[in-house]
A and B are shown apart, each in its own frame.
Chain A
Amino acid sequence: MKILVDKNTNVLVQGITGRLGALQTKLMLDYGTKIVAGVTPGKGGQTQFNVPVYDSVAEAMSHHQIDASVVYVPAPFVEEAVFEAVDAGVSFLVIITDWVPLHSELKIKAYASVKGVRYVGPNTPGIMIPGQTSLGMISDSAVMPGNVAIVSRSGSLSDEVAAHLSEKGIGQSLVVGIGGDPVVGMSMVDFLKLLKEDERTKGAVIVGEIGGTVEEEVAAYIETEFGKPAVAFVAGRSAPPNRVMGHAGAIITGGRGTAQSKIAAFQKAGVKVAKTLWEIPLLVKEWA
Chain B
Amino acid sequence: MRLYEYEGKEIFTRAGIPVPQGALVRTANEAWGEATRLDKQMVVKAQILGGGRGLAGGIKVAETAEQAGKIAQKLLTTKLKESHVDCLLVEEKLDIAREVYMSITVDRSRGGIVAMVSAEGGVAIEEVAKRNPNKIFSFLINPLYGLRGYEAINLVRQIGLGGEHLTTSARILSRLYQAFISCDARLIEVNPLVITSEGEMVAADARVEIDDNSLFKHPELQERHLQRIDNVWDREAVSGGVNYVDLEGNIAVMANGAGLAMALLDMVKDGGGSPACFLETGGGLSKQRMKNGVRLLLKKAKADPRIKVILVMARMMISPPDDVAEGLMEAIREVEVNTPVVAVMRGRKPYEQRAKELLKDSGVPIYSDLQEGIRQSIKLAKRED
Contact = CB atoms under 8 A, between A and B. Distances in A.
A69 interface: no
Contact of B211 (A101, A110, A159): A101
A249 B262 CA distance: 13
B284 A137 contact: yes
Contacts of B113: 106
A250 interface: yes
Interface in A134-171: 137-142, 152-160, 163
Which residue, of A138, A209, A245, has the highest number of chain B Cβ atoms within 10 A? A245
Interface stretch (A53-61, A191-199, A220-228, A229-237): A229-237
A9 interface: no
Contacts of A76: 216-217
Given A23-B318, A106-B112, A138-B317, A153 B259 contact: yes
A217 B109 CA distance: 10
A207 interface: yes
Which residue, of B142, B258, B262, has the highest number of chain A Cβ atoms within 10 A? B258
Contacts of A276: 266-267, 270, 371
Interface stretch (B84-92, B149-157, B189-197, B346-354): B346-354
B123 interface: no
Contacts of A158: 259
Given A139-B347, A156-B255, A240-B245, A245 B144 contact: no
Contacts of B212: 248
Interface string B95-117: 00000000000101101110000
Interface in B208-264: 211-214, 216-217, 243, 245, 247, 255-263
A271 B258 CA distance: 24
Given A101-B211, A102-B184, A110-B143, A154 B259 contact: yes
Contacts of A245: 243, 245, 258, 261-262, 278, 280
Size bracket of the A interface: 35 or more
B46 to A, nearest CB: 22
A278 B278 CA distance: 21
A213 B109 CA distance: 8
30 contacts: A20-B318, A98-B282, A103-B184, A106-B111, A107-B143, A111-B144, A125-B283, A125-B317, A137-B284, A154-B258, A154-B259, A155-B260, A155-B284, A159-B347, A163-B346, A183-B111, A210-B262, A217-B109, A235-B259, A235-B260, A236-B265, A238-B266, A239-B262, A240-B245, A246-B243, A246-B280, A248-B212, A276-B270, A276-B371, A277-B267
A-B interface, 10 closest residue pairs, ranked by CB to CB distance from nearest: A154-B259, A246-B258, A156-B257, A155-B283, A157-B259, A235-B262, A102-B211, A236-B262, A156-B315, A235-B263
Given A155-B257, A276-B267, A278-B371, 6 more contacts: A24-B318, A98-B283, A109-B112, A156-B259, A156-B260, A217-B109
